[in-house]
C-alpha cells in the first residue's frame, strides 16, 4: 500500500533533530584526553621585546661603551656638532662633524658631514654595525652665537683636518706626509 501525502504522519521533533543532538556521554571506563595548555612566551617573559634587545646589545656591545656614548641619559654623550673619528673594520678612518643622530627606542644611526676638496658629503653609520671598529670623540661642539655676524672665524666648522692633526699630536698618533690616514702600529 502506498502512502500518500494525505495519509502520512506528520514528522516529530525527535525525527527531525535527532541527528543533530550531541552524542551520549561516553562510558565510565573511557576518558577523553585533556592536554595542558602550551607555555606561551608571555609566561616565560613579560616583555619579550626589551629582553631580545638587551640580549642583542650584549652581543654587539659587550662592555656597553657605544651604548653609553650615544645614550640620552648620559650627560657626556655625543651631540650634534661634535667632531668624531670613526675607525672602520677595513682600517680606513673617517673623520667629520656629527650632523644628526637618528633614534627610536635606542640610537641606531648617526650622520657625519665630511668636507673633501671643499665639497660637503654626508655619510651615515650604524652605531652597532659590524663595519664600525671604533668611535672616538675628538672635539666637542663650540658654542656659537645665533647671529652669524658675531661669530669668530674659529667658531665656524669648515674642515676638520686641523682638529684631527691637533688631536693626534696630543694622543701621540703619527701622520704620513700630512695626509689624513693613520699608520698601523708596529707589533
- CATH number at 74 reads 2.30.30.790
Residue 114, in any domain of the structure: yes
The confidence score (pLDDT) of residue 177 equals 42
**Does 181 fall in a domain?**
no
* Structural domain span for residue 84: 60-142+157-171
The answer to the question of residue 36 being in a domain is no
Report how many domains make up the chain: 1
Q: Is residue 179 part of a domain?
A: no
Q: Is the pLDDT of residue 151 over 60?
A: no
Q: How many CB atoms lie within 10 A of CB 83?
A: 22
pTM for the predicted model, two decimal places: 0.54
Count of beta carbons in the 10 Å neighbourhood of residue 15 = 10
pLDDT at 182: 41
Q: What is the pLDDT of residue 179?
A: 43
Q: How confident is the model at residue 10 (pLDDT cuts 50, 70, 90)?
A: confident
Which CA distances in Å does 162 have to 159, 167, 179?
Answer: 7, 8, 11
pLDDT(144) > 70: no
Taking residues 100-107, what's their average pLDDT?
68
More confident position, 153 or 29: 29
Handedness of CA 108, 110, 173, 143 (dihedral sign): negative
Higher pLDDT: 174 or 63? It is 63
The b-or-e profile of 143-152 (16+ CB within 10 A means b, else e) is: eeeeeeeeee
**106 found inside a domain:** yes
Amino acid at each position: 500500500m502506498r502512502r500518500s501525502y494525505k495519509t502520512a504522519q506528520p514528522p516529530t521533533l525527535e525525527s527531525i533533530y535527532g541527528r543533530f543532538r550531541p552524542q551520549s556521554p561516553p562510558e565510565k571506563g573511557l576518558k577523553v584526553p585533556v592536554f595542558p595548555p602550551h607555555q606561551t612566551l608571555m609566561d616565560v617573559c613579560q616583555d619579550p621585546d626589551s629582553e631580545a634587545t638587551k640580549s642583542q646589545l650584549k652581543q654587539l656591545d659587550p662592555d656597553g661603551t657605544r651604548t653609553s656614548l650615544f645614550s640620552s641619559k648620559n650627560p657626556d654623550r655625543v651631540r650634534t656638532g661634535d667632531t668624531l673619528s670613526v675607525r672602520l673594520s677595513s682600517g680606513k678612518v673617517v673623520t667629520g662633524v656629527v650632523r644628526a643622530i637618528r633614534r627610536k627606542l635606542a640610537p641606531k644611526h648617526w650622520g657625519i658631514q665630511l668636507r673633501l676638496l671643499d665639497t660637503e658629503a654626508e655619510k651615515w653609520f650604524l652605531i652597532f654595525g659590524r663595519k664600525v671598529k671604533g668611535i672616538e670623540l675628538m672635539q666637542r661642539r663650540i658654542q656659537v652665537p645665533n647671529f652669524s655676524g658675531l661669530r669668530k672665524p674659529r667658531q665656524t666648522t669648515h674642515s676638520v683636518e686641523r682638529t684631527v692633526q691637533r688631536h693626534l699630536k696630543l694622543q701621540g698618533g703619527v701622520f704620513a706626509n700630512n695626509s689624513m690616514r693613520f699608520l698601523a702600529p708596529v707589533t
